[in-house]
Structure 1
Amino acid sequence: MRKAVKTGFSLGIAAALVLSGCSKDTAAPSGQDSGTKDSTTKSTAKESANASKVNPPGKFPVVNDKITLKVFVAGNALVENFDTNGYTKWLEDKTNVHVQWIVADVKNYKEQLNLALASGDLPDVIMNVGVSPEQQMIYGEQGIFVSFTDLIEKYGDNTKKIFKEMPEVKDAITAPGNKIYSLPYINDCFHCSMDFKMYVFKPWLDKLGLKEPTTTEEFYQMLKAFKEKDPNGNGKADEIPLVGGIVSGGGVSKNAIDVWIMNSFIYDDGDKRMLVKDGKIDVAYNKNEWKDGLKFMNRLFKEGLLSKESFTLDKDGLKKIAENPNIAIAGAIPAHSPSDMTIVEGPSNRWLDYQPIAPVKGPNGYQKTTWLAYDKIRGGNFIMTSADKYPEATMRWADFMYDFEANLYSNFGVKGSSWDDAKPGDKGRDGDQAKYRLLIPFGRVQNESWAQYGLNFRTDKDWYAGQAVLKLPDKEKMYYDITKKNYEPYKPKIDEIMPPLFFAPADAQQLAELDKTINDYVRTMTAKFIIGEADIDKDWSNYVSTLDKMNLKKYIEIYQKALDGKKQK
């Protein structure tokens, strides 16, 4: 039930730099005010002329006399009409804030926003576009984006509650200079935060009398048994012991073959592959432990235990293998959930037969799971511009969206139609009294909700565990339980994980170039080492020296500078 809208890193930087007129020479230094934005920020930080018309926190409506906000929003294929939507009407009745919607095309909303910013024809609010931290810094320093910091203090009761309950949220969204240019979208999905899992076809384990592997050697022996002992019983050598997939068009795939395995050798975050120890940043992919992980995967590949298709298959191709008609042929598949590889609640029922095993211990005793600790926090999804005449009312309107009932309306729809209060005795996924009942499954095209748009504060306890279990098997409960048992015990500490960072515009421009060059090379060489196109022993030194020539040292320095700056806020 996660749905994120992300802005491309280098594309977002380039657009922001062009449209803002900033360059490496003219950008205001991180944490300092330029003369242009100083007066704008100060005027918005003070009470606006309409502040006296705003009711205090907790009192509704937000304003006694109706106001209108012009809101730019990315299109949502699951919402029929934002104007006539059930949640839109409910929210307006509750707050007295009317919305004039500017609904951008779902395919080119970034371009439409960039044109609006360049022309100066600004909306009051930019919502669910995923404006990058770099763009927030650039337009924030110019005064085009307004800081919420002072408004939160006076009008953000729910926002302050979030900051108290999850201190990492405030830290993640605060730019240098104590500026908050975007209110956070929180989706604290427990099983989603540890979603680089390895699913194994349990009927094969049972047939062969095997236990779940606990070490890399046992994992190897399991795959070898899948290949050699005909676990599907058809007398043919058609079993695929291990197969993964990639994301079509790029991005981070939870079906990637290397992440779960590499965590038996060195921590792999599945993205930038960065390590944090005692506040110092480094990368994993030039370490000897990374080399050992590649050797192990190369061993699997050479012995025919790892399918070569793992480097070309998209999700649909992977599903065809996992859902092979009549008989199973795939033994182990990395995935976020069964829906990444099977047809959930489909006729084969294989979505229940594939079960995720715990991370296995490597030869040196290392055993971790990737923990996306900050994945629950989405920045750039609610931004106020200098065109907004009602900053206080806007803050209260946005803050109310974090209310639990408002979240039920915004995600599911109208009470009594799409959801309802839980009945006494209804059990949630954690076994405690449930908070609510879901009457209609999420994912349909409808006109009752914003389908996970707007602002959300979805905690694991109230939202995921709090939903009444009305039938079994319950997908979310299954995902919750297995993550609690097999993955939570192996997650790293929070201070070992790279937090979201804000970069000064000049650094961001250089970082965009280094990021693509270095990480594209790492991904390419990882695949080549695994499949044997590059010899790990002979070519490793050249690989490491190439990274150095790509200015890896400067790349790390930029990240370290941003991390150090975050500590000094």
Structure 2
Amino acid sequence: MKALLWILLGSITLSCVLGVRSEKRDATERTKNVLTYEHSPPSLPLPPPGKLPLVTEPVTFRVFIPSVGFIADLKTNAYVRWIEEQTGIHIEWIETDRVSARNKLLAMFASGEYPDIIFGANGTGLSTQDIYRYGRMGVFLPLEELIEKEGYWIKELFDTEPTIKKIITSPDGHIYGLPAVFTDDYHMTMRQKAWINKKWLDRLGLAVPKTLEELHQVLQAFKKFDANGNGDPTDEIPMAGATRNLENVVLWLMNSFVPAGGPDDSGDPLLNNFEFIVDGRVFFSANKKEYREGLRFIRRLFQEGLVDMHSLVQDRSRLRFFVEGPVNRLGVVVSHHPANVATLSEDPRAPLHEYVVLPPLIGPEGKAYTPWLIDAVIKVGELVITKQCRYPELAFRWADHFYRIESALHDKGIEGVHWERIPQGKFFFAFNGKPAKYRYLKPLAQEDNAQLNMGPGWTRDLKNEFAIDTGFSYEEFLYKSTQVYEPFKVRRYPFSTVSISDRDLGEFYELRRTIHSFVMEASNRFIIGELDIDRDWPLYLKQLEQLGLSRYLSILEKNL
């Protein structure tokens, strides 16, 4: 078992060599990076910001887009047709699959022949760092002047969500890409959750625990008695998780001591996060005395057989085996949502319906936390305008229109077919507990070809303003479960939206992977007793420093 837990430390060096045609201009021009175009744009009259259509005579833009599942045919797509009717802009789509999108873009950049616009840029494989780099090279236009002069709906976004503008601003002060902001995807912002078997609690006459000590008592009862009611008091697994960061039982429990866990945005699902923003500064949790005390308590749960030891090495698919076998054997499971370990079903007898959310548990110091991944619902740079665009003001106004509530609505399908506004005189409750504004009429399927589901935009609270379906609604279940976590949220370091400088980028990638791998390896070794929590703690702290923790945190702080 110990051998399985040994995670080999490695380091990665990311080489950020991008094949872009060199531009002949001096360093001063490159630094200032004012709005410059390949050709002087002709004069084009535009209506006042916020007014549609944008043109009276047809104008065509060439737009590069990675294909996704909900787009059957862009030429006949209902949402695309609606956009053209609203704006008057015709789009010549340059389609490609997601796998080859990045390579095709790099080839275009190298050739010097660019599209006017790149739509759904995150889906092309362009990272925040790529957009910043190409912006400084002059391939992508800075947009802040256009936002100030021509923006309307995007300004409404900035006024409502003030942090967004700062998030999308590059280190040089320019904005090169327009974001997609999914503020209605509430449960995605707090993904580190646990679920407890309410059926077992009821059978044993127990309540959902609110403190860590109450959980300890509940797990003891699950282990001692026949909680699943099959006549065998020895087959219950009180609590379990898996190796993926969203099923990490150690770090879910750690949040009763100090903030910990959740994805670190490295792309590796086995790596966990230990960086948070507290009082405006970077906070690293895995070297704090509270983290050590958390390890001490969690080790106790493992020693008593209350947490399945396989949680440290098993894939989450094994959790489904425990839940959906001949009898449900699992009392508490850590996962983003219970459909990860149980089949989604409206049948109230299905194992999924045995679970309710387990809130963050108050620890010995009277505190509890949960990682808040607010940047996880923000895609930086979903649309960029290249320097070869002849009408950049018009291109921006076309992009600005996607931040309308009407645009977000029509990306949910055809009005009157897939959804409708609530008729006057009728009343339904929405997911957010308020009177619903809209209701679904039929599910949106791929063959309907009525959605893009990508590109810039702002959803507001749209998904939660739809009427609750009759019967079981999984969206409502997740929404209300996430509300339980709301008072405990602590913001995770915004890895996915911050722009690390070129000078620090390679070192940042290497340090993040090395430190996060080491912390989880050492944590598991402390828990199984391979390391002594008292004797080996000072050595653990020393090794963290030797791996470059201070330098790593200085990079994060500098680029925040």
Per the normalisation by structure 2, the TM-score is: 0.88
Aligned equivalents of 1:440, 1:312: Cα separation in 2: 42
Matched, 1:488 2:486: yes
Aligned to 1:362: 363
Please say which of residues 311-320 and 357-366 is displaced more in the overlay.
Answer: 311-320
Q: Residues 35, 450 of structure 1: CA spacing in aligned structure 2 closer, same or farther, 3 A cutoff?
A: farther
Matched, 1:473 2:472: yes
Deviation string for 1:15-50 (max 9, x for gaps)? 4x333589xxx9x9xxxx9345368633359x9624
Deviation string for 1:219-241 (max 9, x for gaps)? 12211211121101223311111
Residue 180 of structure 2, aligned match among 185, 195, 198: 185
Aligned to 1:438: 440
Structure 2 letter corresponding to 1:419:
W
Aligned equivalents of 2:532, 2:21: Cα separation in 1: 47
Aligned to 1:339: 339
Aligned to 2:420: 420
Aligned to 1:199: 195
Matched, 1:505 2:505: no
Aligned to 2:385: 384
Deviation string for 1:282-310 (max 9, x for gaps)? 31111111122222222222222222332
Q: Secondary structure at the match of 1:241?
A: strand
Structure 2 letter corresponding to 1:448:
N
Q: Residues 39, 556 of structure 1: CA spacing in aligned structure 2 closer, same or farther, 3 A cutoff?
A: closer
Matched, 1:265 2:264: no
Aligned to 2:47: 55
Shift of 1:118: 3.5
Residue 170 of structure 2, aligned match among 169, 172, 175: 175
Aligned equivalents of 2:314, 2:105: Cα separation in 1: 34
- Map 1:109-508 to 2 at 5 A: 109-130=101-122, 131-188=126-183, 189-236=185-232, 237-247=234-244, 253-268=245-260, 270=262, 271=264, 272-325=273-326, 327-345=327-345, 347=347, 348-410=349-411, 412-423=412-423, 424-442=426-444, 444-460=445-461, 463-484=462-483, 486-492=484-490, 498=494, 500-508=497-505
Please say which of residues 450-459 and 194-203 is displaced more in the overlay.
Answer: 450-459
Shift of 1:133: 2.4
Aligned to 2:6: none
Structure 1 vs Structure 2: percent identity of aligned residues?
32
Q: Secondary structure at the match of 2:536?
A: helix
Deviation string for 1:232-264 (max 9, x for gaps)? 1223311111111244xxxxx322223321110
Shift of 1:354: 0.5
Structure 2 letter corresponding to 1:183:
L
Q: Secondary structure at the match of 2:525?
A: helix
Gaps of 5+ in 1: 1-9, 248-252, 564-569
Aligned equivalents of 1:476, 1:233: Cα separation in 2: 30
Residue 554 of structure 2, aligned match among 540, 549, 557: 557
Moved over 4 A (4+): 10-13, 496-499
Shift of 1:51: 4.9
Aligned to 2:94: 102
CA contact (8 A) 1:464 1:476 kept: no
Shift of 1:396: 1.1
Count of aligned residue pairs for this structure pair? 531
Structure 2 letter corresponding to 1:204:
W
Please say which of residues 200-209 and 47-56 is displaced more in the overlay.
Answer: 47-56
Q: Secondary structure at the match of 1:483?
A: helix
Q: Residues 109, 543 of structure 1: CA spacing in aligned structure 2 closer, same or farther, 3 A cutoff?
A: farther
Aligned to 1:42: 35
Deviation string for 1:320-364 (max 9, x for gaps)? 322223x21111111222222221225542222200121111112
CA contact (8 A) 2:36 2:387 kept: no
Aligned equivalents of 1:40, 1:371: Cα separation in 2: 35
CA contact (8 A) 1:269 1:371 kept: no
CA contact (8 A) 2:117 2:385 kept: yes
Aligned to 1:3: none
What RMSD, in angstroms, separates the aligned Cα atoms of the two structures? 2.7
Shift of 1:162: 0.3
CA contact (8 A) 1:149 1:178 kept: no
Aligned equivalents of 1:551, 1:267: Cα separation in 2: 21
Deviation string for 1:401-457 (max 9, x for gaps)? 1111211222x2211221121223233223333221112235x32343335212221
Q: Residues 224, 390 of structure 1: CA spacing in aligned structure 2 closer, same or farther, 3 A cutoff?
A: same
Q: Secondary structure at the match of 1:238?
A: coil
Aligned equivalents of 2:40, 2:422: Cα separation in 1: 42
CA contact (8 A) 2:346 2:472 kept: no
Structure 2 letter corresponding to 1:205:
L
Structure 1 letter corresponding to 2:317:
D
Please say which of residues 365-374 and 340-349 is displaced more in the overlay.
Answer: 340-349
Aligned equivalents of 2:89, 2:545: Cα separation in 1: 55
Shift of 1:505: 0.8
Deviation string for 1:534-568 (max 9, x for gaps)? 333333222221211111111111111112xxxxx
Please say which of residues 174-183 and 124-133 is displaced more in the overlay.
Answer: 124-133
Structure 2 letter corresponding to 1:217:
E
Q: Residues 240, 11 of structure 1: CA spacing in aligned structure 2 closer, same or farther, 3 A cutoff?
A: same
Aligned to 2:267: none
Q: Residues 121, 547 of structure 1: CA spacing in aligned structure 2 closer, same or farther, 3 A cutoff?
A: farther
Aligned equivalents of 1:12, 1:383: Cα separation in 2: 28
Shift of 1:480: 2.1
Deviation string for 1:123-150 (max 9, x for gaps)? 2222223232222221111111111101
Q: Secondary structure at the match of 1:468?
A: coil
